Amino acid sequence: MKKILDRITEEMKGAFTAAGYDATYGKVTLSNRPDLCEYQCNGAMAAAKDYKKKPIDIANGVVEHLKDSEIFEEVSAVMPGFINLKIGSGFLADYMNGMRTGEKLGMEPAEHPETVIVDYGGANVAKPLHVGHLRAAVIGEAIKRMGRFVGHKVIGDVHLGDWGLQMGLIIEELKERQPELCYFDEGYTGEYPEEPPFTISELEEIYPAASAKSKVDEAFKERAQEATFRLQSGYAPYRAIWNHIMSVSLKDLKKNYSNLNVEFDLWKGESDAQPYIPAMIDDLVEKGLAYESQGALVVDIAEETDTKELPPCIIRKSDGAALYATSDLATIVEREQDFHPDHYIYVVDKRQDLHFTQVFRVAKKAGIVAPERKMDFVGFGTMNGKDGKPFKTREGGVMRLENLIADISEAAYNRIMENRTISPEEARETAKIVGLAALKYGDLSNQATKDYVFDIERFTSFEGNTGPYILYTIARINSILKKYEAVCGTPKDPVILPPEAEPEKTLMLALSRFSEVMEAGFEELAPHKICAYIYELSNALNHFYHETKIIAEEDKEKQAGYIGLVTLTRSVLTTCIGLLGFEAPERM
């Protein structure tokens, strides 16, 4: 089922051709004056120059060929040469019924399906998830789901920070605390224990303590660096500790990501890329791309079209250590080998812009990926408190993500209990769903690159552009359908009829743009466009509800048509919130 804009544009192009003009002038857009028309075409303005005619004469000629169109109920040419379009009620009803009965609400699958890697998450093992991890997880999950919905094979990778000095710090701190452990007995030759020598709570306390100690105790830091080197060289006792760290951390990370309704296909980390690094560096050197500069190995990435100076990408430091760029490039080598992706998407803090510019350019320059490979960096802004600074706890520390989720669920619970329409027990369960919706929608409704203020009062409001408002709209539809079933029984394939009034048509016009929004949302990697769409759709539904007697309608065919329309609206809303990564309760 074609997008409605494509159907309209085809009709307009045919009219331009029939009037003797090139079809390319028949481009149609959504009207920027909805008080005058629903869609518009400005092609006559552009054609006037090429055909040396007045725009209004061209517009009038095109309009003449649309007077019998089944798509439009009104077409008019207005000075100086705009063509205003209003969609026909019969065509619109047919389109609604096509959506109602079609797979994926009538959306056509991607013409050229791609394999897409979405790299998001980026948590470090041995550390709890905190508010700084929220945006990568929420935005990345939405982009992954959006890509799958439009027809691509999308693979989500958490890309853990599980390698480097942090591991050596943990090992050395553990050695100081529990020197009797077999991992630190040079003469031990037995099997290493299956049970880890620490809990997740202990592990999360060990790392910050070790990190703080390394800043004031140079000898401790040097021992940690040596432990890191031994681990990375394959020293069996330290590998055993590392396996314990990974096991304990992954279990906790999976639980916390699950609480956010975020799932990964791959739980890969920096450690997985390490085997690919030596050969990759050798290849860069052999190709003459990598050279020594002040003892480090670097690759130039500057291009003639750059508007500012870009520094070389450091592949190996002067002490022989690899960097994040090295690991990220090696990860691309691994992904090319395992998945042959058509498209890479990295969802990371926007302050990493230079880093990914360097990585992408080196990858293409070195032939790790093809020059035409799509590589996108979705850099996001920070989540700030009301003071405009990065969000902190009342004590000034970084808030754990599980505490943030608990706080917003509590706020949602208090909102729900203000109405006192459900029991406290049901309100608690509902609050978990509403709280997550408030949190995710509050984040995703902002353009990713922009910073935003985390305002728990505004995010949990049942009014305005919020997640709870969207859920409340769905709950309202559920209530309408229950009332209808109580009076008339379960609706049997209710056919949507042509709209007779403005609220009904406005709702249909909003619904008709579903496929267009889904495609554009993924193409532009912009979940905020879906948020804007479902807010508009919710407003249209609520306007229709207030202006239309649905349950009291005596014409049963017309009433069934209304039921079909609100049912379709619910399907579109629930599909969209599913793509954004949250769900709706049955009632609120």
244-257, pLDDT tens digit by residue? Answer: 999 999 999 999 99
Give tens-digit pLDDT for 514-525.
Answer: 999 999 999 999
Give tens-digit pLDDT for 429-484.
Answer: 999 999 999 999 999 999 999 999 999 999 999 999 999 999 999 999 999 999 99
User: Contact, 40 vs 31, CB < 8 A?
Assistant: yes
Q: Is the pLDDT of residue 320 over 90?
A: no
Beta bridge pairs of residue 383:
452
Q: Using the structure block, give the residue that is written with the tokens 């049912």.
A: 567
Enter the tokens of residue 365.
């320059």
The b-or-e profile of 146-157 (16+ CB within 10 A means b, else e) is: bbbbbbbebbbb
pLDDT band at 321 (very low <50, low <70, confident <90, very high): confident
State phi, psi for 130 to the nearest 5 degrees.
-130, 180
The 374-380 sheet, strands edge to edge: 153-157, 115-119, 343-349, 374-380
State the SS3 of 82-139. EEEEEECHHHHHHHHHHHHHCHHHHCCCCCCCCEEEEECCCCECCCCCEHHHHHHHHH
Q: What is the pLDDT of residue 543?
A: 98
Closest CA to 572 of 543, 540, 544: 540
> Mean pLDDT for the chain?
95
pLDDT band at 553 (very low <50, low <70, confident <90, very high): very high
Q: Is the pLDDT of residue 394 over 80?
A: no
pLDDT band at 69 (very low <50, low <70, confident <90, very high): very high
Give tens-digit pLDDT for 81-97.
Answer: 999 999 999 999 999 99
Contacts of 184 (CB under 8 A, 6+ apart): 175, 178, 237
Global confidence as pTM: 0.95
Give tens-digit pLDDT for 196-248.
Answer: 999 999 999 999 999 999 999 999 999 999 999 999 899 999 999 999 999 99
Residue 280 CB neighbours (<10 A) = 21
Give tens-digit pLDDT for 350-363.
Answer: 999 999 999 999 99
Q: Is the pLDDT of residue 169 over 90?
A: yes
Of all residues in the chain, the percent with pLDDT exceeding 90 is 92
Q: What is the pLDDT of residue 565?
A: 98
Of all residues in the chain, the percent with pLDDT exceeding 70 is 100
Q: What is the pLDDT of residue 49?
A: 92
pLDDT band at 319 (very low <50, low <70, confident <90, very high): confident
Enter the tokens of residue 57.
């004469």
* pLDDT (mean) for 271-286: 96
User: Contact, 261 vs 436, CB < 8 A?
Assistant: yes
Vertex 538, ends 578 and 452: CA angle to 5°? 70
Q: What is the pLDDT of residue 392?
A: 82
Q: What is the pLDDT of residue 422?
A: 85
* pLDDT (mean) for 149-160: 97
Give tens-digit pLDDT for 480-499.
Answer: 999 999 988 887 889 999 99
Q: How far apart are CA 233 and CA 255, in angstroms?
A: 31
Residue 399 CB neighbours (<10 A) = 19
Domain residues of the chain, as ranges?
4-87, 165-259
Contacts of 405 (CB under 8 A, 6+ apart): 259, 260, 435, 436, 439
395-400 — which CB contacts under 8 Å span 24+ positions? 398/130, 398/131, 398/132, 399/130, 399/131, 400/128, 400/129, 400/130
Domain 4-87: which CATH number of 3.40.50.10320, 3.40.50.300, 1.10.490.10, 3.30.1360.70: 3.30.1360.70
Closest CA to 568 of 102, 38, 4: 102
How many CA atoms are closer than 13 Å to the CA of 468, on its beta-carbon side? Answer: 25
Q: What is the pLDDT of residue 489?
A: 87
